[in-house]
Amino acid sequence: MGYYEDNQTKDNKYHFKVINYRKAITAIRALDYEITSEEMARKIPRVGKKIAQKIGECVSLGRIKKLDHLDWDQERLKVETLFRSVYGVGAEKALEWYNKGLRTLDDLRKLPDLTKNQISGLHYYDDLQKRIPRAEVEEIGKVVESAAKKLHPDIQSQVTGSYRRGKPDCGDIDIVVARPDIDTGEELFLIMEHILNELIIQGFLVDHLSLPTWSDDMANAPKHFKYMGICKLPGKGSVHRHIDILVVPWIHLGAALLYFTGNDICNRSMRLLAANRGMRLSDKGLFTGVMRGPKRKRLNEGTWVAGRTEREIFDYLGINYLEPFEREC
């Protein structure tokens, strides 16, 4: 998959191959037995013929024959993957640095023109690489929830992302916050400001990667606010974690929960399904009457029809509700 992923950044032709590999990897990870032949691999749902063939080669030869003939620079891939694992570094930057002869994180640390986020990404690199156990995600979720509830006890704060899908550990913490019947930008920004001030005073938020911005035209419209930062639970040995906090309008809560629960492939499938039915799905809701031109380019916004709850969206799409733990596509 690495080869296709690597090349996908240059043009988009391997897009579906990457998705197929990811689906196969998820299916194989869920097995509780070892695959010892191509035949066995072919029986696994989501593992196609070609991937099964490559698994067969791995098992019998210890390598994949196709890779012998590909112009694939393993060293470059390794270095680019390392650079891209730093928060704030994308594929283009990683390639640019590789071409300049940089090879290690210490090489990057010496660069004079790093962005603020890249500096933070490098500073907290070791901590951010560590997976977060569920119990700690829960604890962090409670810290944010109690900060939010200090403003209004009816504010709801839910941990989404891989945690809500039931994963034993997570890469980061994704929290969605909303308050019953509160939809306007002005009120939602106040909630966000309150939560951030509270958490900064507590020393829980230690660095900011992206702060929500405000402009006056947001005051009366439903508006989503996103914060991204680094947090740390009290205590000496605690690890710095990446946290995203979203404050969303009550009418969009279902759509926001659906989007931020993921996983990303499941989101993509649902968006595609909506598009095939003349609709559009986003983190704000489901929209009907969407017109598309050549290459599926959207010509209008459409009309918002569902998004208060997740169920409402599944119902409107005409598909069975999936529990969060079933959204591992």
Residues that bind ligand DCT (CB under 6 A): 161-162, 170-172, 174, 259-260, 262-264, 267
- In angstroms, the CA 194 to CA 259 distance is 24
8-state DSSP, 130: S
Q: Of 38 and 145, which has the nearer Cβ to ligand DCT?
A: 145
State the amino acid at position 133 in one-letter form.
P
Tokens of 120: 């933070």
- In angstroms, the CA 317 to CA 272 distance is 11
Judged by CB under 5 A, does residue 141 bind Mg ion? no
Q: What does 264 interact with, of Mg ion, ligand DCT, none (CB < 5 to 8 A by kind)?
A: ligand DCT
Is the CB of residue 78 less than 8 Å from the CB of residue 59? no
Q: Of 41 and 173, which has the nearer Cβ to Mg ion?
A: 173
- In angstroms, the CA 51 to CA 57 distance is 10
Q: What does 267 interact with, of ligand DCT, Mg ion, none (CB < 5 to 8 A by kind)?
A: ligand DCT
- CB 161 to Mg ion: min, Å: 3
Catalytic-role residue among 54, 93, 223, 284: 54
- Mark whether 54 is an active-site residue: yes
Judged by CB under 5 A, does residue 328 bind Mg ion? no
Closest by CA to 243, choosing from 166, 128, 104, 101, is: 128
Q: Of 222 and 324, which has the nearer Cβ to Mg ion?
A: 324
- CB 295 to ligand DCT: min, Å: 21
Give the list of residues 6+ apart from residue 66 with CB closer than 8 angstroms, or none. 54
As beta bridge partners, residue 287 has 280, 304
Judged by CB under 5 A, does residue 161 bind Mg ion? yes
- CB 216 to ligand DCT: min, Å: 29
Is 178 exposed, middle or buried, given 0-12, 13-18 or 19+ CB atoms closer than 10 A? Answer: buried
Q: How far is CA 45 from CA 48, 265, 266, in A?
A: 8, 16, 16
Tokens of 241: 């974690």
Which of these ranges, 7-15, 158-166, 217-225, 231-239, lies near Mg ion under the rule CB under 5 A? 158-166
Q: Of 80 and 283, which has the nearer Cβ to ligand DCT?
A: 283
- CB 56 to ligand DCT: min, Å: 30
Footprint of Mg ion (CB under 5 A) = 161, 172, 174
Q: Catalytic positions, please?
A: 54
